[in-house]
Amino acid sequence: MAYDAAQLLDMTQTQLDDLFRASPAGPIPDGMAKGTAIIAPGTKYTETIAELINHFGWQGKVFDAKKGVLKNKILIFGFEAILARVYIDKSWLDGKDCVVLDYSETSILAHYIRDEIRLIGPGFYLGKVYWAKDRLIDFCLQF
């Protein structure tokens, strides 16, 4: 089944977790991806929160697969900042392979952040955000 961001915004946390568990790591992506934050999944606030974050805070990520890094597109102007290392490793959610976006050695601001993504459709990834080992939110990336 092909997914889009709107469908993910309608899912519950359990549905998002199940989809993540059932999906392959996929390749390390390359290029620019539009990002959508998924906060308070399955509630009437999810879409509004996603729109606000997308407009004012975070628009997505720009990957350089060859170098194994990415930068986030942030703020209203879409500045490329907050560098992360990108590699394949075991997910903290289920111990299976995922693409890890690791900020621990590249960012003072996001030092404790680790994202994990898995491929859920052509050019479309579902992600989990962790602060240390505590899960924070979900997001998706559309290339």
Cβ pair 60, 66 in contact under 8 A: no
Does position 1 have pLDDT exceeding 80, yes or no? no
Cβ pair 63, 74 in contact under 8 A: no
Q: Can you tell me the distance from the alpha carbon of 136 to that of 37, in angstroms, rounded to the nearest whole number?
A: 11
pLDDT-based confidence at residue 109 (cuts at 50, 70, 90): confident
Whether this model's pTM surpasses 0.85: yes
Q: Which domain holds residue 36?
A: 5-142
CATH number, residue 126: 2.40.128.580
* Percent with pLDDT over 70 in the chain: 100
Please tell me the total count of domains within the chain: 1
Beta strands in 10-78 (DSSP E): 31-38, 58-64, 69-74
**What mean pLDDT do residues 10-30 have?**
98
- The string of pLDDT tens digits covering residues 94-103 is 999 999 999 9
Q: CA of 134: how far to CAs of 43, 44, 93, 114, in Å?
A: 21, 24, 10, 10
Does position 76 have pLDDT exceeding 90, yes or no? no
